[in-house]
Each structure stands twice: as structure tokens, then as C-alpha cells.
Copies of this chain bind each other. A is one copy, B any other.
Amino acid sequence: MPTIVVDVMPKAELLDPQGKAVSGAFSRLGVDEFTSVRIGKRFELTVDGEVTDDILAAAQRIADEILSNSVIEDVVGIEVVE
């Protein structure tokens, strides 16, 4: 069944305390390959049947209105995965 993947990340200009915590853990564990970490959400919406333009439009709408908080988050990607 096709799946629509919606990616939501904290806005770039905001602090991401969860990401900062992981970044701090990296330092303590001696992982120095990565300069920063940000943590967002990945939603997998299962569609029963074909993904039509209407369903994609619905996904875009709920991504903006329900799955993300536009004050602090951006929807960074919506893609169809088979």
C-alpha cells in the first residue's frame, strides 16, 4: 500500500533542546563527526488505493494544519513512497 511521508522539523531560527541534548551526548561519547543535530518528526500516512492529486492535497493540508505547529515547525517534505 502506498505511504505518504511527511517530514516536520523545528524552524531553523529556533533552539532545538532535544537536538542540543543529543549533540552534547555526542561530545561526551567522543563522536566528533557532526557539528550539529536537529530532531524532527516523520509521519507515515498509509493510503488504501491509489494516491490521487486530491489525496496529496489532503496530505498537504493536514501536514500544515494538524501534523505541524506552524509557530515553531516547518513541513520540510511530503513524498509518496510505495
Contact = CB atoms under 8 A, between A and B. Distances in A.
A7 B47 contact: no
Copies of the protein in its oligomer: 2
Please classify how large the interface on chain A is, using the bins under 10, 10 to 19, 20 to 34, 35 or more: 20 to 34
B48 A35 contact: yes
Contact of A25 (B36, B55, B66): B66
Contacts of A22: 43, 66-67
Interface in A30-72: 31, 33-48, 54-55, 58-59, 62, 66-67
Contacts of A31: 58, 62, 66
B42 A39 contact: yes
13 contacts: A25-B66, A33-B45, A33-B54, A33-B58, A33-B59, A34-B59, A36-B46, A37-B43, A37-B45, A39-B41, A40-B41, A40-B43, A41-B42
